[in-house]
Chains A and B, each alone.
Chain A
Amino acid sequence: MNIKLHVWRQKNGADAGKIVDYDAPDISPDMSFLEMLDVVNERLITKGEDPIAFDHDCREGICGMCGMMINGTPHGPRKATTACQLHMRSFKDGDEIWIEPWRASAFPVVKDLVVNRGAFDRIIAAGGFVSVPAGSPPDGNAIPVPKMNADLAMDAAACIGCGACVAACPNGSAMLFTSAKVAHLARLPQGQPERDTRALRMVNQMDAEGFGGCTNVGECEAACPKEITLENIALMNRDYIKATAVYRKERAGGD
């Protein structure tokens, strides 16, 4: 099939950037979306033009490295599918496709479709963990975990940290990402001792990074390739409110 691409090209963070048009003839429907970009890039290089920079690694929908707006939707048209797992059979011959980077003030563009998602790591560093150093923890079966809780924890833990939720949100909010980690650990007995401080610190960090607030639009849930649900946000809000009552000092950013 023949496709027409409109791709965001931006040399670096300081460059203004613009949409550039490319023809992509002879594309096989069995190609993945990124393989289509590979082919376009090989042709660009051969012509002596700078290839399109885009992030990717595993190409099987699990590392969360890939991510781009495809016709205005994070990761493109297929539900619960990352850009690397999207196949060209989701498009038709003659289609025009607009490809742009994630747009959010907390994710500055590095080059073309590549953005800096370091803010996500800093949110985790603020509290997205259980503080148990390697050593001699109790036997794995010492604390039984109801299967339902383990399953709910796993549902939330499936987040791949790609940033589609932020890109989809009109406010550029990171609530879905942050709440997924809060909920994963809140559902397990191991996460209880730090439950309050975790919610507080992660939310504070999220705000400090310049992500927008949540106004319950729900676009994040629709865009999430791993189908993380809004329920997590509700849980985090509850935990946060409870924690603010308990830890006033932390909320004020105290020690």
Chain B
Amino acid sequence: MAIKLESKIPDGPVEQAWDKHRFDMKLVNPANKRKYSVIVVGSGLAGGAASATLAELGYNVSCFCYQDSPRRAHSIAAQGGINAAKNYQNDGDSIHRLFYDTVKGGDYRAREANVHRLAQISVNIIDQAVAMGVPFAREYGGTLANRSFGGAQVSRTFYARGQTGQQLLLGAYQALERQIGLGKVKMYPRHEMLDLIVIDGRARGIVTRDMVTGKVASHVADAVVLGTGGYGNVFYLSTNAKGCNVTSIWRAYKKGAALANPCYTQIHPTCIPVSGDHQSKLTLMSESLRNDGRIWVPLKKGDTRRPDQIPEAERDYYLERKYPRFGNLVPRDVASRNAKQVCDEGRGVGETGLGVYLDFADAIKRLTEGGVRERYGNLFDMYERITDENPYKVPMRIFPAIHYTMGGTWVDYNLMSTLPGLHVIGEANFSDHGANRLGASALMQGLADGYFILPYTIGDYLARTKLDKITPDHPECKKVEAEVNGQTKKLLGIGGKRTVDSFHRELGKLLWEKCGMARNKAGLTEAIEKIPSIREEFWQNVKVLGGGEELNQSLEKAGRVADFLEFGELMCRDALHREESCGGHFREEYQTPEGEALRNDDDFAYVAAWEYAGEGKAPILNKEALEFHAVHLTQRSYK
């Protein structure tokens, strides 16, 4: 059964689309809102903001997260900042410019109307966050401060030291806690969603496992919202928190919610290089560092001199050389690929040769050490803690790492998936970033979705839909619970020899090599052949100790890895089918003579929405054509 992809983009010019749509949407009157219930999975910027806002409007909300407190969602780790088209710096910014930069930065693989709405709402987010007491950085005159970020020539990024995500999340968390205190939100921490409940073709609930007692239970509602974040951990090593997973959107996929563009993954250029096999995760050094740090490698191959002994003339500031207009501030995909290229040429630095320098010597000369500390102190401290090197004295060593996933559940303009009633927000949806996300736009998108878009669009859905009352003892709930219990039992009963982590590492390594920074047909084909055999071995040879009715971290991991083992294959299939390079998806076969990504707009200017076809069957590809009216398709150039 082929699904129909109706994007529901309002007619007319993009500038007016959102206002028009807001007027056209049906409203639920305040007294009736109290009769509706909504499940929100996730308490990050997207889920936390949505839960709080829906409750403020009067809906009855249940919110779920796997951490012990909603305040710990992975949004907390965002460092650099959040974009908004405020033009406070009077440097020529505007909603149109932010819109344009985002469409271009995404390599023309995002929906114009969505991106425009995002740019419009960006200004409200800052106002909202300030009113909630988010301590953004200020100038001496008391106004809000800005910095610049990759892919933009204006200063539009708002920040709270190097902890912007933390402060924005705490703002949303505090609003959420307020609603919990008022009894409008019931919070379920340490609860993991393990499956979705679909009744009469609509998403009506979820099955969760209480991670402390192991109790598996159904929760039902009038609509379900997933704000469960990105799937970067499919690569094992990434900048994501250890618990980040694909489970919720993968289970939703299997129940009918198409998954879009899974191969669009973002590699962040400035992470701390891997130090050994014990490595459990990678740490990001905020992109904002590229404002003042200069990236270089030695001109000569295999130059093992200490960085301070390499004279200026024997250094290659390759980004400044190749992209004089943007210099060190080229978008992430361009910066990452160039780092890979110089390392492939044998000019990488550090013990492994997989690293480039990010040097602050000039910045310290210009701003003094104190000035640099003021801007980046906590990042420098973090670097020193991890590497035992003092970046005020020796240049940092950095290398690209998996950081963000642009792909995710396909949603229409109302943020609803192909499964009616299931809404997906934040990083979990296929989002507004096309094939590459610009820095400081994920926080913007998560909060736009959560505070300002979903609370309206979900009302429209509820107002237009007749829903029967259901309770958690509906036969479908019991059936899904039994399936979840069955999987737990199966995992605990295998009694094999290998740990869950060993499988996760194996999958991650394969994907990093074949479906990472650069991909090609042979490699992807190989990965698609290999993943099923890893999966097979997993189900025969994994060792999960302990029981189901207790806190069991190996069991939690096993469930997540089981889903990654299926999802990874779809990601490679998507990468294989997209015979072009765009943004974060770089196919070696498709590049310009200068080694830049070569798009193929004639054949691939579409969103690839994959539909589950059943166990053991090849997934079905559905296409949503992308049309560009306000922005002209051009070859991206940052030279």
Contacts and interface: CB of A to CB of B under 8 A. Distances in A.
- Closest 8 A-B residue pairs measured CB to CB? A144-B142, A137-B131, A125-B181, A129-B174, A133-B56, A125-B177, A153-B135, A150-B138
Nearest to A78: B385
A3 interface: no
Contacts of B56: 133-134
A141 B174 contact: no
A57 B72 contact: yes
A60 B452 CA distance: 30
- Could you say which of A39, A61, A63, A114 has the most chain B C-beta atoms within 10 Å of its C-beta? A63
Interface in B4-50: 49
B316 interface: no
12 contacts: A28-B276, A28-B278, A30-B278, A36-B278, A42-B499, A132-B131, A134-B52, A143-B130, A144-B138, A151-B138, A160-B166, A190-B130
A117 B68 contact: yes
Interface residues of B, number: 80
Contacts of A132: 128, 131-132
A85 interface: yes
B139 A147 contact: yes
A130 B133 contact: yes
Contacts of A62: 76-77, 163, 166
Contacts of B167: 154, 157
B127 A138 contact: yes
A143 to B, nearest CB: 8
B143 A45 contact: no
A191 B133 contact: yes
Nearest to B161: A154
A133 B455 CA distance: 12
Contacts, number: 216
Given A51-B554, A133-B56, A133-B175, 17 more contacts: A46-B499, A50-B545, A51-B553, A59-B242, A59-B281, A118-B69, A125-B177, A134-B175, A144-B138, A147-B140, A153-B135, A154-B161, A157-B135, A157-B160, A157-B167, A158-B166, A184-B135
Interface of A: 11-12, 28, 30-32, 34-36, 38-39, 42, 45-46, 48-51, 53, 55-65, 78, 80-81, 85, 87, 89, 110-111, 114, 116-118, 120-121, 124-126, 128-141, 143-147, 150-151, 153-154, 157-158, 160-161, 184-185, 187-188, 190-191
Given A62-B76, A150-B135, A191-B133, A31 B551 contact: no
B235 to A, nearest CB: 15
A113 to B, nearest CB: 11
Contacts of B142: 144-147
A131 B177 CA distance: 11
Given A121-B70, A137-B128, A141-B144, A35 B279 contact: yes
A30 B275 contact: yes
Interface of B: 49, 52-53, 56, 67-72, 74, 76-77, 86, 88, 124, 126-133, 135-144, 160-161, 163, 166-167, 170, 173-175, 177-178, 180-181, 187, 189, 212, 241-243, 275-276, 278-281, 283-284, 381-382, 385-386, 388, 451-452, 455, 497, 499, 501-502, 543, 545-546, 550-551, 553-554
B135 A154 contact: yes
B177 A190 contact: no
A222 to B, nearest CB: 18
B545 A51 contact: yes
A121 B385 contact: no
- Could you say which of A78, A143, A160 has the most chain B C-beta atoms within 10 Å of its C-beta? A160
Contacts of B187: 121
Contacts of A28: 276, 278
A55 B128 CA distance: 32
A140 B159 CA distance: 13
B355 to A, nearest CB: 15
B554 A31 contact: no
A85 B452 contact: no
Contacts of B243: 57
Contacts of A49: 545
